[in-house]
Structure 1
Amino acid sequence: MATPTAVPDPTAVVPVATPDGHWRLPGLPNLHSHAFQRAMAGLAERQSKPEDSFWTWRELMYRFAGRLDPDSQYAVARQLYAEMLEAGFTTVCEFHYLHHQPDGRPYDDPAAMSKSLIAAARDTGIRLTLLPVLYMSGGFDGRPLGERQRRFGHSLDGYLSLLQSLRALRDPTLEVGVALHSLRAVPADAITALVAAISDESMPVHIHIAEQIGEVQECESLRGARPVQWLLANAPVDPDWTLVHATHLVPTEVQGIVASGATVAICPTTEANLGDGLFPLREFLGAGGHWGVGSDSHVSVSPVEELRWLEYGQRLSTRRRNIAVSSGQPSTGTLLYTQALAGGLRACGQGGAAAADHLVIDGQAPALAGARETDVLDRFVFAGNRPLVRETHVAGQCPVRDGRHRDGDAIAARYRQALARLLAD
């Protein structure tokens, strides 16, 4: 695969004062989204058993996923994407695996669920990198998909056919890449075959990996290596690849990811919500790794909160302050924002075009009173929870003005109707 489109040097990102007293910033890519999960945010916060974890949360997610169809997914995704634009995300990487009907039968149009996401992105005005997911097995042992996983599944040929049809729809704000759900869901020979099938094209490749301790242990037991260790040894991981979560790493894996040129998508609020663990940020930054953030399950839809809690998790684990800094950049907010931008642009596959998208944040807000170019990003990331985005500009359009999406009321009304149906007993 080829090197991704060149993106700006991350040290070159500087807030720009506007004539009317506000600040202009680049918009951030959101590197990991499961749009449908926005509709179940807050519904898994009651204990089901004392050992609640990702795996018990997943049971609720499966039940909820079984209720969606193209229309309800469109309503949920449109609400989510409007919220992202209002919060300051200008591109979203949608890791999409709800392909078929709940019983596993394809829709009359096999791409119906994918097209509902494309329509939601186009109608709200956000850039979309659609990542249809290859999902083939129920575990590292190759067992068949369970009943609630059937709508996720594809044969390799079926998946490649879907991918080809979706890539024909690309336009200046839509990129289509590939996603391997995880090592447990895609057999080793299928990974090899998929990589060979797409080797003539450069496109984003994303994969969930090393998110939970149980996954690491099962991979070691059945494949004889840790997940990231196995992937680096058995796949041509390069700058087109994004490793999602990569939470549980040993030092050799940190070094291996950096050497490969891959990007890591860190999702701090979801990883905290699910009790996954903390990404080794200090070590990864020290090694020169590329990274960005995603909102994943959308318990929060805010680039500020993802960056803030990425830093705060490190502070809690080390009992020190200002972790995300370097010898050349002592500002935590500046380093977090600019590296998340640079890594995000690498991973979304939309390169220089996405780099031109921008925000206008409220320079009259108390949190930014007396702000200077040197402290705007520190204040934006760390000074309170009042929304500061006034405008969002994507591909020459301005879908957000005065902090509100242009179609916010209509989008919310349709979302409420869809949610009422999804949650009906």
Structure 2
Amino acid sequence: MRSTPVSSLFFDHLLLPGGWARDVRVTVSDGAIATIEADSRPAAQDQRHGCGLPGMPNLHSHAFQRGIAGLTEKPGAGEDNFWSWREHMYRFVDRMTPADMQAIAALAYMEMLEGGFTRVGEFHYLHHDRDGGHYGDTAEMSAALVAAAEESGIGLTLLPVLYRHSGFGAQPPQDRQARFVTSLDDYARLIEGADRHVARLPDGIVGIAPHSLRAVSARDLDGLAPLMAGRPVHIHIAEQMKEVEDCIAWSGRRPVEWLLDHADVDNSWCLVHATHMSETETMAMARSGAIAGLCPITEANLGDGFFPARAFIAAGGRYGIGSDSNVSIDCAEELRLLEYGQRLVHRGRNIMAHETGWSTGAALYCAALDGGTAALGVGSGLSAGAPADIVSLDLDHPTLACRSGDALIDSFLFAAGRSAVDCVWRRGEKLVSGGRHRARERVTKRYRAALERLIP
């Protein structure tokens, strides 16, 4: 995406790292914030808006799964859970081409921007051709995702996945996993190719993603260590109770316990889901500095369970949010459902607020901003030198009437939702106006054509 300098933006209310500021003038140069001046007067050339927030990072996405959103809501003959859902997903990816990947990802990324996300962590494991053979360019599917990010304008942290095995103890991969599976040597070449393609983006990042302890062995993790240096590291872990039980049967340890004992987990790591942890694991993960990658909508859709958020946060843990399966793409809904899940578990209200009198919405938003940006390898908040990634809320929305400060975030997250998102700037370029992405018609048309080929 080409950054377009913006002379200035003016916000009546703007959320800055130090809190809310009033009458704020923001100038942008070459995609970055040049100056921020509070208690200012608007100039004639300013673009004026009521309320601005820093754009939210989406730390965990499988973009192609947007294509099956809503198509897995019929129970089968047996028990219906994550594992039966996975069978639907496997059948869908059997037919997907790089062009299909770009078309579906572009729609997902466009919808992320319309919902208030300005950067995505794409946990990407569909690497190979339909017969499992390699493309001429090992990173061709990665290139399709980069093209989708360019088209939509979203920031991208690409997380190519190492997928080696079908279960704990290095069980041989299944035939249906052939499009995912790669050797360590081929994975190193995949990262080189991803680096080359992502270099086209103004602030693209490539991270490392061992899929899960089911899909990589202890030897595989050791082999990844040289590639991890200086990069974000993401891994699925402890999402399902079957996974926990299988890990104990294999190793005698629970998944998070095993990982913390066998890898140098620190604040460059993101442990995605980590739903089923013991109290000891929860405390140890918080101490490690690893970010919890929470995906409340998908975790609810798949029946995963509830993350032990209260204990994790009390121990100093950090978290961010992701849209994962993209069954519904909505920054406000992810945060709302995170809080509501904890209310159901603890049978109380305002669980995620830091202390008496604090705004629950502001606590959720700021924590997810902090943890999500850290997990994706970028800085947090709106300040001079930072990318001009900004979301404005429509203060004419009836749910935001007569609100200011933290009440704006509370009302956005718990009442108005994405209908209150007005404009979104990414590196100073306005991509969304009136809640609608500027390329919506073109992107949607190509997405529909792709699905006509993929869904019989």
| TM-score class normalised by the smaller sequence | over 0.9
Residue 227 of structure 2, aligned match among 198, 205, 212: 198
- Report the Cα distance in structure 2 between the residues aligned to 1:383 and 1:350, rounded to whole angstroms: 30
Measure the CA separation in 2 of the matches of 1:287 and 1:11: 23
- Write the deviation string for residues 99-153 of structure 1: whole angstroms up to 9, x where unpaired: 0012210112111101000000011100000000000001003221111101101
**Which of 195, 199, 205 lines up with 1:175 in the alignment?**
205
1:15 positional shift = 6.8
Distance 2:203 2:387 in 1: 12
The aligned runs of 1:18-417 (5 Å cut-off) are 20=48, 22-168=50-196, 169-170=198-199, 171-195=201-225, 197-198=226-227, 201-327=229-355, 330-351=358-379, 356-385=388-417, 387-417=419-449
1:248-303: CA deviation from partner (whole Å, max 9, x where unpaired)? 01111111111111101100000000000000111111111110000000111001
How far apart, in 1, do the equivalents of 2:93 and 2:357 lie? 43
Check conservation: 1:249, 1:280, Cα contact below 8 A. Answer: yes
Which one scores higher on RCO, CA 8 angstroms, separation ≥ 6?
1
**CA offset digits 1:365-413 (Å, max 9, x no partner):** 0010001113111011001346111111111211111211111101111
Contact kept? 2:332, 2:418, Cα under 8 Å: no
Paired residue secondary structure (2:430) = strand
Distance 1:67 1:314 in 2: 39
User: Please, which moves more after superposition, 21-30 or 237-246?
Assistant: 21-30
Per-residue CA distance 1:348-380 (angstroms, 9 max, x = gap): 112257664111110110010001113111011
Greater Cα offset, 376-385 or 204-213: 376-385
AA aligned opposite 1:321 = R
Match of 1:5 in 2: none
Bigger radius of gyration among the two = 2
More strand by share: 2
SS for the counterpart of 2:448 is helix
Taking a change above 3 Å as real, the CA distance of residues 374 and 235 of structure 1, as seen in their structure-2 partners, is same
Large movers: runs of 4+ above 3 Å:
13-21, 352-356
TM-score scaled by length of structure 2? 0.88
- 8 Å contact kept, 1:102–1:148: no
User: Helix, strand or coil: the match of 2:424?
Assistant: strand
CA contact under 8 A between 2:49 and 2:392: conserved in structure 1? no
- Does structure 1 residue 12 correspond to structure 2 residue 26? no
Q: Which runs of 5+ in 1 are unaligned?
A: 1-8
8 Å contact 2:118–2:154 — kept in the other structure? yes
1:15–1:25 CA contact under 8 A, matched in 2? no
Range moving further from structure 2, 57-66 or 350-359: 350-359
**One-letter amino acid of the structure 2 residue matched with residue 281 of structure 1:** A
Q: How many residues align?
A: 414
Q: Contact 2:116 / 2:418 at 8 angstroms: preserved in 1?
A: no
Tell me which moved more, 308-317 or 327-336: 327-336
Task: Please report the RMSD computed on the Cα atoms of aligned residues, expressed in angstroms.
Answer: 1.7
C-alpha displacement of 1:174? 0.9
Q: Secondary structure at the match of 2:76?
A: coil
What is the identity, as a one-letter code, of the residue corresponding to 1:292? G
Distance 1:214 1:16, change over 3 A: farther
The 3 A distance-change label for structure 1 pair 103 and 362 is: same
Distance 2:356 2:210 in 1: 36
Distance 2:261 2:49 in 1: 52
Q: Alpha-carbon deviations, 1:133-184, whole Å to 9, x = none?
A: 0000010032211111011011001001110222234343311001010001
* Matched AA of 2:341: G
Distance of 2:23 and 2:287 partners within structure 1 = 37
Q: CA contact under 8 A between 2:424 and 2:431: conserved in structure 1? A: yes
Cα 1:384–1:401 change in 2 (3 A) is closer
Q: Kindly tell me: are residues 348 and 75 of structure 1, through their superposed partners in 2, closer, same or farther at Cα, counting changes over 3 Å? A: same
Aligned counterparts of 2:389 and 2:86: Cα–Cα separation in 1: 35
| Alpha-carbon distance between aligned partners in 2 of 1:192 and 1:145, rounded to the nearest angstrom | 20
SS of corresponding position for 1:198: helix
| TM score, norm. by length of structure 1 | 0.94
Partner-residue secondary structure (3-state), 1:351:
coil
